[in-house]
Structure 1
């Protein structure tokens, strides 16, 4: 069993290296499978189990990251980026960005220049919290120690957006969660930007009932990626909306609380607070 795992790992490592070197040719599944010496059907399952995504989606991620580096060069056109990335035209580049980034190539290039973000600071039972919203919903929620750094962290995501320190109804609805008034939660809307895998993980987190705890492995099984616990952990670590998307309810299989973007002590306190509410 261990020997088979080692062989499969080498196959996947070989496939990933092949994809990284040849993604501009947008290689087909059959071509990659032949390179590593297995059938296309077996390779599809093997790669998805080990990498957490299909070979096609992995190629898309590699292509997207390359396209993003090109778009950051001011004089490069969208057509040039599409061709340089190995895509047939700007429509495929557009579809790639929409499906994975949740924004168009132009919006990425402009750093969210057409986006208006309201933000405000509030007190919570677990320290100060920053909440930000677009007209579509809550896009950011984070505990913080220093307001200046909290705002800088938000602006890194959308450097060219227009920011206003103002509290709106979307933020007020979201903050009701700390007042033990759960009626307003049905009015909470989220505006999230992430890969399909990340969105799937975050959606799964929303289904964990208050007061309940689960593990990274369980989340991986729920999204039909039982061997992708590590990838699940990475996606949870990039959760942009603290508390509302309850990543604090995921712990290690050993029973240890585990890591938390805003501190393991805070995570423990939140878990205890939720349990006391149910009691």
Structure 2
């Protein structure tokens, strides 16, 4: 019913990232990090470079807290950061390929009644994830831990908060082309995302789309960007309720102290996403 593939790569890399995050101040050797993945130095170097596109040593540079603090100390606004990234070279704004739409009041009231959600579980560079669509619009992208159940009842519970009345249809074959396009830099048509959200949530999520890949901002900066500088706590709540991971890049928001902070799909995965994007944006 669900499509998953045995993919030990992310789990091996995740163990390495956890070790690097805990020990970055000691600048561990390649042998120390390779040991966390139960691989030889040669195989770990090759696996990591294939996954991240850069060497473990270079990747480590972007996993330290200085990576986050440097950007915050610059005091850039979201608009300035986007302008600095530009459209030349490898810099890419997330909202160039993600179109965010809010449901209409009528659709909100119907809670999905009369709608069909097609869904499946796929593998990503960051472990398995649940993908759900209504027509050509993505309504759900949730990362899963390896041990999380993917039976029909568990999947239904994941859609219940936003779309309790929708009909759920497993359809990995139909969704495979879309899934293959999400975590790639290849040219593609914009991905359309449909969300049920309050006007405030929609403002916050739209602000997230303006954060360039490889950059991070604080909750305070998001609050200022939407014209509500005193609403950083409410911003945090809105970010935490994001139903579409990665495409609505809530992983790019950190605490103003420079700490990465929490992430609904795990701190290690957030660190992996940030490091992966930082490395790719500078390739």
Same fold (TM > 0.5): yes
Aligned pair in 2 of structure 1 residues 225, 210: CA closer, same or farther (>3 Å)?
same
Q: Which has the higher contact order (CA 8 A, sep 6+)?
A: 2
Contact kept, 8 Å, 1:211 with 1:278, in 2: the verdict is yes
Structure 2 length as normaliser, TM-score? 0.57
Q: Does 1:180 align with 2:188?
A: no
Q: Does 1:131 align with 2:134?
A: no
CA-to-partner distance for each residue in 1:119-140, whole Å, 9 max, x for gaps?
1111011110011010251111
RMSD across aligned C-alpha pairs, in angstroms? 2.2
Structure 1 length as normaliser, TM-score? 0.58
Which of 202, 226, 245 pairs up with 1:223?
Answer: 226
**Tell me, which stretches of 5 or more residues in structure 2 are unaligned?**
1-101
User: How big is the shift at 1:153?
Assistant: 1.2
For 2:247 and 2:173, the matched residues in 1 are separated by: 17
Aligned residues: 176
Which of these two proteins has the greater Rg computed from alpha carbons?
Answer: 1
Residue in 2 that maps onto 1:63: none
User: How big is the shift at 1:271?
Assistant: 0.5
**Tell me, which stretches of 5 or more residues in structure 1 are unaligned?**
1-99
Contact kept, 8 Å, 2:119 with 2:175, in 1: the verdict is no
Contact kept, 8 Å, 1:174 with 1:244, in 2: the verdict is no
Residue in 1 that maps onto 2:162: 157
For 1:101 and 1:133, the matched residues in 2 are separated by: 14
Q: Does 1:272 align with 2:268?
A: no
- 1:88-237 matches, within 5 Å, as 102-104=104-106, 108=109, 111-135=111-135, 137-144=137-144, 145-148=148-151, 149-167=154-172, 172-173=177-178, 175-181=180-186, 183-184=187-188, 186-237=189-240
Residue in 2 that maps onto 1:257: 260
Aligned pair in 2 of structure 1 residues 137, 268: CA closer, same or farther (>3 Å)?
same
For 1:206 and 1:164, the matched residues in 2 are separated by: 29
